[in-house]
Structure 1
Amino acid sequence: MYRTHAMPFGAELSDEGVRFALWAPNAAKVELVVDGEAQEMTAAEQGWHRLASARAAAGSRYAFRIDDRLEVPDPASRFQPDDVHAASLVVDPRAYTWTDARWTGRPWSETVLYEVHVGTATPEGTYAALMPKLAELKELGITAIELLPIGDFAGRRNWGYDGVLPFAPDSAYGGPEDLKRLVDHAHGLGLMMILDVVYNHFGPSGNYLHAYAESFFTDRHRTPWGAGINFDGATSGIVRDYFVHNALYWLEEYHFDGLRFDAVHAILDDGRPHFIDELANRIRDAIRGRHVHLVLENDANQARWLERDDRARPVLHTAQWADDIHNAWHALLTGEAEGYYEDYADRPLERLSRALAEGFAYQGDPSAHKGGAARGEPSAHLPPTAFVAFLQNHDQVGNRAFGERLSRLVPEEKLALARAALLLGPQVPLLFMGEDWSASTPFQFFVDFADDPTLSDAVREGRRAEFAKFKAFSDPDARERVPDPTSEDTFHRSVLNWSEADQPAHRAVREDVRELLGLRQRHVEPLIASGFRGSQQDLTVPDMLDVTWRFDAGMLRLLANVGSFPITVAVGTARPIWSRHATTTPGHGHNLTSSTMAPWGGLVLVEPAA
């Protein structure tokens, strides 16, 4: 069987050859250039230019010539064999024969995410090289692979957030059929595939939309990357369609099981419905009969996008990355208080307790980091599965000057407790590639703008300037030690070394992860799948993290001593499924009545519903 997603723009195969469509409202004349031969396109209403070409076929190279002066790739290109500035390739989506006809996905309650950057996940840095790793990850207990953005970016090295052609999987990792083969293989193993997509900006090299479609952008809104994308102006319907079709394209043509939407707080929209609302509704309306998971990154902590219906199903989006959980854990484990950690370092245990119990630590509270501005909305009514929890991810590792992983910053005795709380907690856990064995390799910030020395210089200096406000880099000489993001060496330092997972210290971490994920599957997943009834936190014992979640099927309780002295607490009749540096005192009838936890010891307990 084959899969294809029909779009109103780009190149679509038809009985007449190939139908081409480009929205270019600022162009007086547009020519289609196919394999070096030009033919004028027909101008239509609203700035569209169209042409059906019998000369074109799958495998043809094509570009659009704007007003006799500029040749540009297709903004809806399905593939760019020679990078973002060159001609696009006509792709036949029917060329790949899928084998996963019976795959309908997996429930969100079974999700354990493993975040992967394709280019550094293996020495080869390709979809094909990643495939053999999937069985190993499944055996570990992973159930979903989340890929960092793969939309075509300039050069051969990038995190993916500088993409400019969001329909074209970057050629650095392989071709369209290689990516489909990876997804198909994952489904054969029972693994879900999630893709990170970027709808808030385009990268700085290779975006030609300004040259022929100025109204794709707007000066009404400003983002960290410049003018905002026009989601609410006179021609915003076409802009919205572009991104909605992109989401549907990945879900239908590539059969991804879900999408993670990058930094939606930077999608600025004064219209109604908000684009975030429309996006989810159109996806839900278009795709039925299979599990599709839609996840937000949203610094604004807006619970409104995560609401559930009367059957506890997501109305719009499935979940949000729980930055509050990460930030509080990080402040607690490392003592760091600069940057956004200042919002958590004041009362890290209290912030962490609230985030674990209620989803957001900031629910309309003033943020010191944001100059006292209120941040967030009430979230305690949402189930824990509305939040993706993590101790590390590409941002939290890679945005450090040297890209150090948490295992380089925190002793294993502390990290082991946090890891258990993550993997046995009721939120959906995410591991960053290599975290499962405390990989020694960093994940540093890297780009490849070799064809633009001016841009390379700006990125290099901008990266170092970012750290000027931090004490460790207040001296210019210290900032010079920040790795050069344009250097190929920075990229190579970030490539995983899978062989070290077999070394004793790393193997012990991986076995710990394996055991914890086995406990999660047996004891935690049945609870979170049964229906959420509410949570409570207890901060009465200093240095004790004590959070309880109640479900239709029973109760889950996390206890963790994050202080310097032993602590004894009552545990009642609940049964421990995991303990670390904890001794329990049996009560009457051999029921547990109390437990004493050494510093950085803890317990996870369950109790079936009466």
Structure 2
Amino acid sequence: MRCRHAMPFGATVQGEKGASFALWAPAARQVRLRHADAPAGGWHETPAGQQPSDGWWHCHVPSARAGTRYQWLVDGAAVPDPASRSNPDGPHGASEVVDPLAHDWRHVQHGRPWNEVVLYELHLGTFTPQGTFTAAIERLPYLRELGFTAIELMPVATFSGAWGWGYDGVLPFAPHPAYGTPEDFKRLIDAAHGLGLMVVLDVVYNHFGPDGNYLGLYAPQFLSTTHHSPWGHAINFDDAQARPVREFFIHNALYWIEEYRLDGLRLDAVHTIIDDSKVHVLQELSQRVRAAAGPRHVHLVLENEHKQGERLTATPLPGRFDGQWNDDFHHALRVLLTGEATSYYHDYRDQPLAYLARSLSHGYVFAHVDRKDPPSMARTESEAQPLGAMVNFIGNHDQVGNRAFGERLGQLIGPQALETALLLSLLTPAIPLVFMGDEFAASTPFLYFANWQGELAEAVRTGRQRDFNHAAQEGAAHGWSAPPDPCDVCSMHSSRLDWAQAESPSGHARRALVRSALAARARWIAPRHAQLLPRGHVAQLVGDAGMLARWLYRDGQELVLRANLGEVALVAAPEALAGVDDAHAAVVFSHGWPPTPGRRASAPPSSPGAAWPAWSGLWSLQERRA
């Protein structure tokens, strides 16, 4: 099977007829294409013709083939193709013609339904010692064996410098050359499909990086003159000249889905995308991706601080999104377990256990409010959201990497507390996400790192030191007197996973826990996803650290969780367990809960007077009782 996404931008191979090239450059006065058949070959120039008044420039090169290097000469300035499929020397170098039909896909996968999704987030550059697409292939069987069904890749679009997180990409169609070639990326996806794994890609449609973006020279219309974002002028999605801009990003989404056979996209920080059009660009993107995917299971996930549950759907619908990262779950849990209450954690400081319970029953804790506002449950209470659209986690690249020293939650709390927290993220109706290494109790940090140079590097260093100066004392435990320099390559090297830890006794124990939990999820929870009621779920507090959650299904069943998130055993009052029918329940999963002598293996222990052990959880499935 061979796949190509047809798009109006960039280079299109036309077999023996060469290749055609298209550039939207409405501010350009003269455009030529400089091209060479080999990286060290002689350069030739071909003039580009402009269509009247629409800003498009086109040319055809009969000698162009896959591997041909080229650059646009816009009013004399050499720039890469913004829709380049490959830029082997980075965004300041020449682009390379790619023939997408050269890759013959070995595995035809139609994906897996949303209820089966278990996400494993990874950064290509630090997931393996080599930091490449090819090296990541070797780890795929390991992830499948543990029970993960999808890998979620942090952005791979080409950015400036050899290493970084990827959220400052400037060539969104070209895989970052340090990770490998487009063909290497396709082989990674193909190998994942051969193992029954999905591949979801993080994409950034809210800004371009600060280095290597040349669009301002010839297409300033890419930036809005009326809207602003944290990075300056927002992307222009809604003025009179916005249609080519919208098409650029929508085609990028279609390109990854069709040409690379990806199984989904996670859209970064969509709350910074401003669009006053009648049809919001996110709605249009979803509609067109759904149409292009056809019968395939393709999943669209948002990061959205504005919450906006109206963008979510319990079943795949054009214009809607399958899931959204649920920061409320993470923040409430972290405050509860660590006591941290600074920055954006301050909203959860007064009653974190209650907020955690609400996130399990309603999805979100708060409706969207300015984080600077003081917490007020009565004022900011969120309505119930589709729980199956929530994506829950105890850590991700942001929540680990945006700390001064990149500590994982496991470096801040004890192992018993960490295991209970991890299980809480894996065994609810929400979709789980695990950050790379947490499945084997990795102790390596995940720092912020970026290969910036010159004034930009100095500005980033100064900003990080200013923002995290208060954390210098915390770093003493790591041997650091100040937050690590993000532009020092050692920050990237320190963030690479140490796979020897996965084979240590603690690594084996954590992996066994994750494996058994995901097996329980696949047997008991995932198949019931479509039966989940849209609302009516409850989670009540038991004592100072206990919680009883009940998730309701249309067939009259309910999933019951008893959790003790404290260091001391507790005994639930009989009225707290009203409606819990242990005699006719099946155990879904048990952690830290000792077996009751003589009880049936398929039934939980008798509830009246039974102590809930410290840092324990007991999941059971029963008929719903009044």
The answer to whether the Cα contact below 8 Å between 1:527 and 1:555 also exists between their aligned partners in 2 is no
When structure 1 is superposed on structure 2, of 139-148 and 214-223 the one drifting more is 214-223
Deviates most, 30-39 or 74-83: 30-39
Q: What is the aligned length?
A: 600
Q: Distance in 1 between matches of 2:74 and 2:214?
A: 11
Rounded to whole Å, the distance in 1 between the matches of 2:475 and 2:88 is 43
Q: Could you tell me which residue of structure 2 aligns to residue 503 of structure 1?
A: 504
Partner of 2:238: 232
| Pair 1:54–1:469, CA change in 2 (3 A) | same
Counterpart of 1:539 in structure 2 is 541
Aligned to 1:413: 416
State the alpha-carbon separation in 1 of the partners of residues 149 and 307 from structure 2. 26
Secondary structure at the counterpart of residue 493 of structure 2: helix
Partners of 1:461 and 1:237 lie apart in 2 by 38
Q: Residues 594-605 of structure 1 correspond to what in structure 2 (within 5 A)?
A: 594=608, 595-605=610-620
Q: Name the counterpart of 1:404.
A: 407
Matching residue of 1:394: 397
Q: Deviations over 1:25-45 (max 9, x none)?
A: 111111111112112100113
Deviations 1:244-272 (A, max 9, x none): 00000000100000000000001111222
Do the aligned partners of residues 29 and 314 (structure 1) sit closer, same or farther apart at CA in structure 2, a change above 3 Å counting?
closer
Percentage of matched positions with identical amino acids? 45
Alignment of 1:298-317 (within 5 A): 298-308=304-314, 316-317=320-321
TM-score by length of 1: 0.93
Aligned-pair CA distance for 1:544:
1.7
Kept in 2: contact 1:308–1:315 (CA 8 A): no
The residue identity in structure 1 corresponding to 2:160 is A
Distance 1:72 1:315 in 2: 35
Amino acid at match of 1:432: F
CA offsets 1:121-180 (integer angstroms, 9 cap, x no match): 000000100101000110011110110000001111011101100000011010011000
Equivalent of 1:444, from 428, 443, 447?
Answer: 447
What does 1:72-91 correspond to in 2, within 5 Å? 72-91=79-98
Paired AA for residue 406 in structure 2: G
Q: With the length of structure 2 as denominator, give the TM-score of the two structures.
A: 0.91
CA contact (8 A) 1:424 1:520 kept: yes
Alignment check: 8 A CA contact 1:464 1:479 kept: no
Q: Secondary structure of the residue that 2:552 maps to in structure 1? A: strand
CA–CA distance in structure 1, aligned partners of residues 423 and 81 of structure 2: 47
In structure 2, C-alpha distance between the alignment counterparts of 1:566 and 1:508, rounded to whole Å: 23
| Distance in 2 between residues matched to 1:237 and 1:397, nearest whole Å | 37
Residue of structure 2 in register with 1:346 after alignment:
350
Counterparts of 1:2 and 1:370, CA distance in 2: 53
Aligned counterparts, 1:335-484, within 5 A: 335-364=339-368, 369-370=372-373, 378-382=382-386, 384-449=387-452, 452-468=453-469, 481-484=482-485
1:97 maps to amino acid: D
Structure 1 Cα separation of the partners of residues 118 and 291 of structure 2:
26
- Which residue is equivalent to 1:572? 581
Deviates more, 1:408-417 or 1:580-589: 580-589
- Contact kept, 8 Å, 2:332 with 2:352, in 1: the verdict is yes
Residue 531 of structure 2 aligns to a residue in which SS? coil
Distance 1:330 1:372, change over 3 A: closer
Structure 2: tracts of 5 or more residues without a match:
37-42
Q: Give 1:99 shift.
A: 0.9
Change (3 A) 1:204 1:415: same
Deviation per residue, 1:440-488 (Å, 9 max, x gap): 1111111112xx311111111122222247695899xx99711001101
CA RMSD of aligned residues (A): 2.5
Alpha-carbon spacing, 1:533–1:208, altered in 2? closer, same or farther (3 Å): closer
Q: Residue by residue, what CA displacement relative to the aligned partner does 1:37-68 show, whole Å, maximum 9, x if unpaired?
A: 11210011311111122122211100101112
Match of 1:514 in 2: 515
Alignment partners' CA distance in 2, 1:314 and 1:31:
40
Identify if the C-alpha distance between structure 1 residues 503 and 480 changes in structure 2 by more than 3 Å, giving closer, same or farther: closer
Amino acid in the other structure paired with 1:604:
W
Q: Which segment is superposed worse, 276-285 or 578-587?
A: 578-587
| Deviates further, 584-593 or 399-408 | 584-593
1:507–1:342 distance in 2 versus 1, CA, 3 Å: same
| Residue 26 (structure 1) aligned with residue 27 (structure 2) | yes
Point out the more displaced range, 190-199 or 512-521: 512-521
Q: Secondary structure at the match of 1:135?
A: helix
Equivalents in 1 of 2:613, 2:344: separation in Å?
Answer: 30
Q: Is the 8 A contact 1:577 1:605 kept in 2?
A: yes
Where does structure 1 lack aligned partners over 5 or more consecutive residues?
none
C-alpha contact 2:111 2:297 (8 A) present in aligned 1: yes
What secondary structure sits across from 2:541 in the alignment?
A: coil
Structure having the larger proportion of residues in strand: 1
